[in-house]
Amino acid sequence: MRTSRTLAVSDLHGFARTFRSLLFDVVQLRRSDRLYLLGDYCGRGKDSRGVIDTILALQSAGFDIRPVRGNHDHHLVLAARSGVFEDLLDLLDMEGTTTLKSYGVKHPQKIPEQHLQFLERLPFYRVTDNFVFVHAGINCTLGDPFSTQGEEQMLWDRSGVVDVSKLENRRVVSGHTTRTLDQIRRSLAEDHIRIDNGIHLTEVPGKGHLVAVDLGSKQLFAQENIDDRDSE
C-alpha cells in the first residue's frame, strides 16, 4: 500500500507546463498526497492562467491541494478589487503585465471571477502539527506571530529567521527567496525550509527549477524550466 505524502511547492510564477511536469512526471502526485502550494502563482512566466487552471482542476478532481497567498497574488487581487491606480502600478512593477497577457486582458478587473475569487480567498499561512506553511516568513518577534500584524512578513520577509519556540516547535516551510538546489537540500534538516529555486533564473548555476519537497522522507524533486525552453 502506498503511503500518503506531505509535499510542498513554491513560486510557480506562471510556469504552467513546468508545474504540470513536476507534479505528474517527477513527483507522480496521487490523491492520497497532501500538497501545499506556497504562493506566487502569477507573474514572470507566460501562463499564469494555466497555473491557476491546473490548481482548480486538481482540486475538482479530488486531489488534496492546500494553497497559501504570495506577494504577487496579493497585489493582483489589490489591483483588481481596489480601483486604486497606485495598486495597478504596483502590480505592473511586479511583472504583472505577463499575468494580464496570459488572460488576454489589459486590466486585472477583467480576469475571470473564478480566478480572482481563488486568489482572494487564499490564506496567508497554514499550520499543521509539525509545520507552518507560508510564502515568505514568520515574524517571531510578535506576541502572536500569526496575527494580522505579521501579514506583511508572511508575504515579504527574506531574513530566514525563525524561533520555533514561538511556533510550538513547528518548522517553517516557505519560498519567496531563491536558493540553490544544494541550499534547499541542506535546509530540509533546519528549522526553516526554503524551497524557491528561482524557476526564471535559468542562467544561474544551481537555479532555474521548480522544486517539490516530501517533508516526510526529506526527498527533493526538481523539474527544470521547460516553459522557457519550449518558447525558444
In a domain, residue 1? The reply is no
Instruction: Classify residue 145 by its DSSP letter.
Output: T
Express the helix, strand and coil content of the chain in percent, nearest 5 each.
Answer: 40, 15, 45
* Cell matching residue 111: 480576469
In a domain, residue 96? The reply is yes
- Taking the alpha carbons at both ends of the chain, their separation in whole angstroms is 42
Mean pLDDT of 27-34: 97
* Cell matching residue 71: 506577494
In a domain, residue 91? The reply is yes
Write out the residue range of the structural domain in which residue 131 sits. Answer: 6-230
pLDDT value for 230: 56
Could you tell me the CATH number of the domain that includes residue 26? 3.60.21.10
Domain count, the chain: 1
Q: Is the dihedral of CA 41, 47, 53, 58 positive or negative?
A: negative
Inform me whether the pLDDT recorded for 223 exceeds 60.
yes
CA pair distance 124, 45, nearest whole angstrom: 23
pLDDT above 90 as % of the chain: 88
Per-residue pLDDT tens digits for 175-203: 999 999 999 999 999 999 999 999 999 99
Per-residue pLDDT tens digits for 114-146: 999 999 999 999 999 999 999 999 999 999 999
In a domain, residue 117? The reply is yes
User: Whole-model pTM?
Assistant: 0.95
Per-residue pLDDT tens digits for 44-73: 999 999 999 999 999 999 999 999 999 999
pLDDT value for 1: 53
